[in-house]
Structure 1
Amino acid sequence: MINQFKRLKDSHFQVEPFYLTNCWDVASAKLIEKQGAVVIGTSSYAVAQSLGYNDGEEVPFSYVVWLAERLVGNTTLPVTLDAEGLYSSGLKELGHHAEHLIRTGISGLNFEDQLLRDGSGRWPIQEQVKRIRLIKEVASQLEVEIFLNARTDVFFQGTNHQGLVEEVIERGRAYAEAGADGFFIPGTTDVAIVERVVNEVPLPINIMAEGKSSREKWHQIGVKRISTGPHTYLDHQNQLAKKLSEVMSND
């Protein structure tokens, strides 16, 4: 039996960073796999938009679980899910939701520190550490391994990323100590800042970027994963709009 967790984890320790083109349904996942992807990963924004919801845990959690099951059942690749904050405020609810998602057969999940249900801002570091530890404990109790990609939304809190990098590093180190397997830092593509995080956080670093043209510069500073986030979905919508405009034109 193929160890999908190992395949996902190993992809973060290759010489060059791997490129994660994020999907929003089974059809887009199959197309991404056909083009040579090594991992299938979702974008919560793209999933929400495709269903008529806003991003930020508006999609019913039952659908998130169902989508995870459908993706796992329709690809030969490891599946990592954008789980946002796992739709939970308390630890009991978090553990319950983590169990539901892990039982679908996913190999990994993104777990963010943004306060989605209780206002703006981020979970205090020690609270998020408890939450990360609980997810890993749930996986252990189920006798499976899960690649927990800890996401911090610090860089979305302002434009002075140089002034925010200390908190990012502090969170990355704490999340690593708690058992996270990767560290996702969307919101900045400043090479010097990303390089500092790579050098000071003992986890594979994941960034969000639109295209593959700059992969070499990220390789040079040690980035291990490049995610498209919502950009693949947005590009798809733009291309569809252009095609429809051509087809429906009166000219």
Structure 2
Amino acid sequence: MQTQQDRARLFRSLHKAGDPVVLYNIWDAGSARAIAEAGAKAVATGSWSVADAQGYKDGEDIPLDTVLAIAGRIAGTVDVPFTLDFEGGYAEDPAGVTANVRRAVQTGIVGINFEDQVVGGSGVHPVEAQAARIRAVRAAADAEGIDLFINARTDLFLQEGDRAKHQGLIAEAVIRAEAYKAAGADGFFVPALADHALIRAVCGAVALPVNVMMFGGIGTVAEMASLGVARASYGPRPYREAMAGLKERFKAELAA
């Protein structure tokens, strides 16, 4: 039987530029088991989906204790590696981040998404401040003795709705990736970046495995592989599609 550390090592090995690990994001133990049984090499939550499934809004509205309870159920239900979308760590100060991440690691997770946007505020944390927060995540993992995969997310592109302006954000994104790597991050997540030339540029300039979000218009996993992507995740899309299907099936039953 694999230990948590065994799964952590396995999860790390799945991140290969040009052969991305596919994470079809789940929201509870049942959806995790379904995806694992379908052949997934690993499972990952999406914070939006987990929150909405429990009647909360995204952005750390769902209580921390509830998130950790769900994480524990997922980790105890599937045998594949499980990575948790932990938003901003439910704290701004590094000490609070360390305390909360230690609790998360104790549920059985082997990876974590950690974002640089100011949850409940505006903009993103200054590079130095976010690097300190990432060091706090690494300190938590070290204290628990788990080689936690820290997927450092930048919200630069997500917060800029005009895709025409994304090229002007690449230089700052690369600076952040370098700082985050130095602080202990293992991956770099660029949700909302969809332009293939820009994705290729980030993959070429960043030393960390690059994660993209597979949302409308970005293309296929095969196309992402050709750009050098190492991780392809789906965010809230699987949950939204599942809920839409549930509604349609119920409507069909009423109409029968």
* Structure 2 equivalent of residue 133 of structure 1: 135
* Structure 2 equivalent of residue 187 of structure 1: 192
* Structure 2 equivalent of residue 242 of structure 1: 248
1:64-123 deviations in Å (ceiling 9; x for gaps): 111111111000011100000011021221111011111112100000001003x11111
* Structure 2 equivalent of residue 231 of structure 1: 237
Runs of 4+ in 1 over 6 A off after TM superposition: none
Larger RCO: 1 or 2 (CA < 8 Å, sep 6+): 2
The separation in 2 between residues aligned to 1:89 and 1:213, in whole angstroms, is 35
How far 1:213 moved relative to its partner?
A: 6.3
Structure 1 residue ranges without an equivalent (≥5): none
* Structure 1 equivalent of residue 179 of structure 2: 174
The separation in 2 between residues aligned to 1:41 and 1:144, in whole angstroms, is 17
The separation in 1 between residues aligned to 2:22 and 2:214, in whole angstroms, is 10
Alignment of 1:90-239 (within 5 A): 90-117=93-120, 119-158=121-160, 159=162, 160-210=165-215, 214-239=220-245
How far 1:210 moved relative to its partner?
A: 3.8
Contact 2:153–2:189 (8 Å) recurs in 1:
yes
When normalised by structure 1's length, the TM-score is: 0.95
Structure 2 residue ranges without an equivalent (≥5): none
When normalised by structure 2's length, the TM-score is: 0.94
How far 1:246 moved relative to its partner?
A: 0.5
The separation in 2 between residues aligned to 1:176 and 1:91, in whole angstroms, is 17
Equivalent pairs: percent with the same residue? 37
CA gap 1:14/1:220 in 2 versus in 1, 3 angstroms: closer
The separation in 1 between residues aligned to 2:131 and 2:212, in whole angstroms, is 21
The separation in 2 between residues aligned to 1:14 and 1:188, in whole angstroms, is 17
User: Which of these residues, 62, 73, 76, is aligned with residue 73 of structure 1?
Assistant: 76
Contact 2:18–2:229 (8 Å) recurs in 1:
no
The separation in 2 between residues aligned to 1:70 and 1:208, in whole angstroms, is 25
Give the RMSD, CA atoms, in angstroms.
Answer: 1.5
The separation in 1 between residues aligned to 2:104 and 2:224, in whole angstroms, is 31
How far 1:240 moved relative to its partner?
A: 0.9
Residue identity in the other structure for 2:254: M
Residue identity in the other structure for 1:143: G
The separation in 2 between residues aligned to 1:31 and 1:144, in whole angstroms, is 26
Residue identity in the other structure for 2:166: H
How far 1:245 moved relative to its partner?
A: 1.1
Contact 2:36–2:43 (8 Å) recurs in 1:
yes
How far 1:13 moved relative to its partner?
A: 2.2
* Structure 2 equivalent of residue 82 of structure 1: 85
